[in-house]
Structure 1
């Protein structure tokens, strides 16, 4: 898969939406087609009774546009109602329980919607949840995402679909590899399958409010930081005092030369962030909040990376591999 956030956003790649206000209504660039995935990270309010995510055939109203998928968690009954609106009339509700209710009040969540030829598939917090057969068969009509209710949205990201050159229908992400929702900091996990060209690491969370100093994300060739330390193929280290993102590598117990230049410093105390690290054959490339920031040429074989380590003045909401 191509890196999703190159400067200028290549054809078929839609810029992510960061921390939008709710209610939210926004376009889906190039519409919905088989292989399109929508990633939504957010938080359910402590007093939430419900919220909804709609895939719509337009915005505005009245009259209301047709709604191809209405995904509506309801906390009183602990059910997720699914439905379709056509010509101002709702169809029959689907609310069968797949065995669990994946949302909790006062909790973060990630929802993924995958469009396939005959149905939508929805996953929540790393687990496949439901399928919903298309009732609006002309997928090209679906062009708008709308979210409303008692929730806060951190980020919305789009991937895949027929508009991407040479794209094929994408499988639902391999949930054997995550995501980890609200993991503690420090955080350490194995990088199952290692780093290979095209592999991406997604790290999202909040910077601490009170005088944050720094944090770091390491791709290491072994666990821990005790002596003797394992080699670190990539050390990504935002430092708030100097407003710099320091990059480095550790080999044979020695740090190399630091790289510090960045177009800007995107982290703020109390602010939400999403870091994406892409491994390519020549370098690691990093995007922050949907904007390509830096690249770090490999100083050690990326094939030796087997551990992700995160420490410092942040609170994590999610760690995911793709």
Structure 2
């Protein structure tokens, strides 16, 4: 059966700036907007608006506006009926000129909690009901790599970008040009994320909906874990289980190692080894203490110094399917006849990990 991404889980890759696009399913408490991007050396300012309509003249529930003008600051505001309201100025700058960044806008009961590069920055209290927000606008001296709308589960759980799991090149939200989040993809009424189903999409329903073929997105994501990272895989590996790993390859990186292991025997069922300097990604297994046959062929290498990556590794009956930045990268056929014994994930080497979700 073809894998259908849960509704609302399509990341957008490399949108053109200025950008204006819908947020399918809207926003509500527990949903987060996750952005990866970079700003230029000669930046003066950029902004992100959460809009209550799909035109530039719509009401703005959140205006987020970093200004590099000698008195570096970030201005927050809202706009109703064409009138700007009272500004909140934060006189510190979480962005660095010429640098990449990761930013999360979390919708809480109080407002929009902004995190930049893993650090809390500011919470802008709601002035306009969050239910009215339906689009997003980005403009100015910024380039964006990915936009991801995630979460909305039970108890405000963080959900998790299933994203591109099975759409080669799966950019724009299931056929919606420039879309943000894939709307009705799964054919669920309400088109949002978990549209009206108890527990929503994110927060620990375990196996998806009763009788459904959607993979469960239970469990909380891990943010900014230290590397080397080693942890049990909740529930072990099973067909249709997807693991999302987001991170960045630092400058000067040489090798990265991602291992799917059997804890009790220390067998490595699937070893993925990006070698940054050589520009290759080696795949192998180590069973009974001996390495198997290396696989090296690739159409492209997405692991480049200074670049973010967004990877999904999906377990099937015959193989692992690996997607990076929306592109299918390779398949690795199971060599361990009982892949359900895989119960550990280890990550080592020259890599910063920002997010892991099982």
Return the TM-score normalized by structure 1: 0.70
Q: 1:10 offset after TM fit, Å?
A: 2.4
The equivalent of 1:185 in structure 2 is none
SS of residue matched to 1:68? strand
SS of residue matched to 2:343? helix
Distance 1:220 1:321, change over 3 A: same
Q: 1:195 offset after TM fit, Å?
A: 3.3
Q: Which whole-Å CA distance do the structure 2 matches of 1:318 and 1:23 have between them?
A: 29
Count of equivalent residues:
282
Q: CA RMSD in A?
A: 4.0
Q: Which whole-Å CA distance do the structure 1 matches of 2:221 and 2:47 have between them?
A: 24
Unpaired segments ≥5 residues, structure 2: 154-191, 205-218, 236-241
Greater shift in the superposed pair: 88-97 or 231-240: 231-240
Q: 1:56 offset after TM fit, Å?
A: 0.8
**Structure 1 segment 1-322 matched on structure 2, within 5 A:** 7-13=3-9, 15-61=10-56, 64-75=57-68, 76-96=70-90, 101-137=93-129, 139-161=130-152, 163-165=192-194, 166=197, 167=200, 177-178=223-224, 188-191=227-230, 193-197=231-235, 200-204=244-248, 217-219=257-259, 232-237=268-273, 247-257=283-293, 267=302, 274-278=309-313, 286-290=322-326, 294=331, 297=334, 299=336, 301-305=341-345, 307-310=346-349, 319-322=354-357
Contact 2:26 2:133 in 1 (8 A): yes
SS of residue matched to 2:87? coil
Q: 1:34 offset after TM fit, Å?
A: 1.6
Q: 1:117 offset after TM fit, Å?
A: 3.1
Q: 1:170 offset after TM fit, Å?
A: 6.4
SS of residue matched to 2:29? coil
Distance 1:199 1:16, change over 3 A: closer
Return the TM-score normalized by structure 2: 0.64
Q: 1:177 offset after TM fit, Å?
A: 4.1
Distance 1:168 1:253, change over 3 A: closer
Q: 1:49 offset after TM fit, Å?
A: 1.8
Distance 1:268 1:217, change over 3 A: closer
Q: 1:279 offset after TM fit, Å?
A: 7.5
Contact 1:36 1:170 in 2 (8 A): no
Contact 1:43 1:153 in 2 (8 A): yes
Unpaired segments ≥5 residues, structure 1: 1-5, 181-187, 209-213, 222-229
Q: Which whole-Å CA distance do the structure 2 matches of 1:320 and 1:42 have between them?
A: 16
